[in-house]
Amino acid sequence: MSGVQSGTEGAVPLVARATRMLLSSDGSTTLLLEALLDTRLAVHVEDQSTVPVGQLPPTAVTALGLRPGAAAVRRASALLTPEGAVVSRNTVVFTAPPGGWSGSASDAAPLGKRLRQHGTRQHREILSSGAAVWPDHGERRCAYKEYVITCDDSARLYVREHFSPEYVHLPDGSPGFDPAGAGDLDPLRRAG
């Protein structure tokens, strides 16, 4: 993944291309990560509870159309390799689980794969993507993506994924990428 396409002026490193594909895809992130890492991933739910709107990310509140005084389920999870290494840390916010997914904290299948397994049609709208701080209480930078999943039964889920810098590398020096992390990989994808 560290190669550079040869024979092209201003070639973009393959690592940057893989990250850009991951962040711009409106399909299953888990399937892309599994293909990138050539391994199966499982979910470990770290915390799941119903919280008032004031404790939710503002982008989630806006994207889901939540009103003051409302509450929603906030689920914090990690995608893990079979060896237990963290590939991503994720936040999912929902008011009711869509058909085909119980919403249970004990379900170890990744959300998108569970929905697909039950034939639940879904549409993903990317709200923003770019660079953030990896949530390990350090200052390492990581790639992130946030989006809304709308299912065929009208259930909506907000998802924010932070990708481990050990597995998903930031495309430093790539066109359109701010290495200071102030901007998105694509300014048009910023949440409104």
Query: In this predicted model, what pLDDT tens digit does every residue of 22-35 receive, in sequence order?
Result: 998 888 899 899 99
Report, as an integer, the average pLDDT of 50-75. 94
Residue 13 banded pLDDT, cuts 50, 70, 90:
low
Domain contains 100? yes
pLDDT of residue 179 exceeding 50: no
Domain contains 5? no
Domain span at residue 44? 14-189
pLDDT of residue 16 exceeding 80: no
Domain contains 8? no
Q: What angle do CA 67, 146, 63 make, to 5 degrees?
A: 20
Report the CATH number at residue 111.
Answer: 3.40.1410.10
CA distance 69 to 191: 23
Domain contains 4? no
Report, as an integer, the average pLDDT of 125-138. 89
Determine the pLDDT at residue 100: 73
Least confident span in 15-19, 55-59, 166-170: 15-19
Domain contains 1? no
Domain contains 138? yes
Domain contains 7? no
Nearest to 77 by CA among 109, 55, 99, 50: 109
CA distance 38 to 33: 8
If one counts the domains in the chain, the total is 1
Contacts made by residues 139-143, CB under 8 angstroms, sequence distance 24+ = 140/165, 141/165, 141/170, 141/181, 142/168, 142/170, 143/19, 143/22, 143/23, 143/168, 143/169, 143/170, 143/185
Least confident span in 6-20, 57-71, 133-147: 6-20
Domain contains 6? no
What is the C-alpha end-to-end distance of the chain, expressed in Å? 33
Give, in order, the Cα–Cα distances in Å from 13 to each of 4, 10, 18, 29, 122.
4, 10, 9, 21, 32
